[in-house]
Structure 1
């Protein structure tokens, strides 16, 4: 998987919360894994902003994501 189309799905942000790995990808949104292999969709509330993920951070078990672009948005989600 190294075609130009695949590169559009590049990782923009990566963080961990406890035993979870959280990955923010351009065009694909935010995904979560608890075993490092299988990822589940963690996009609730950001479907319209997937293409603009700019930054991802954690404070304790809370994930904070910011989008880039002319109308930036902040997305906050607690990881259980």
Structure 2
């Protein structure tokens, strides 16, 4: 995985300035991506699809929230 962790040491400036001034420079130097391949983080890291293996304990929960008003669908709102 790639990325930058930016911890503000002072309150001078703002994130918009950082994005407008620093991000283009990093992009020009090839240090950050401007486009990303489609798929979930699981797919990108494990290269084995977007779902856990059928033998994984979490696979038993597939479809459990399909008709529910709680859970995964609620988080997406």
Q: TM-score range by the shorter chain?
A: under 0.3
Decide which structure has the larger Cα Rg and report it: 2
The structure whose RCO (Cα within 8 Å, separation 6+) is larger is 1
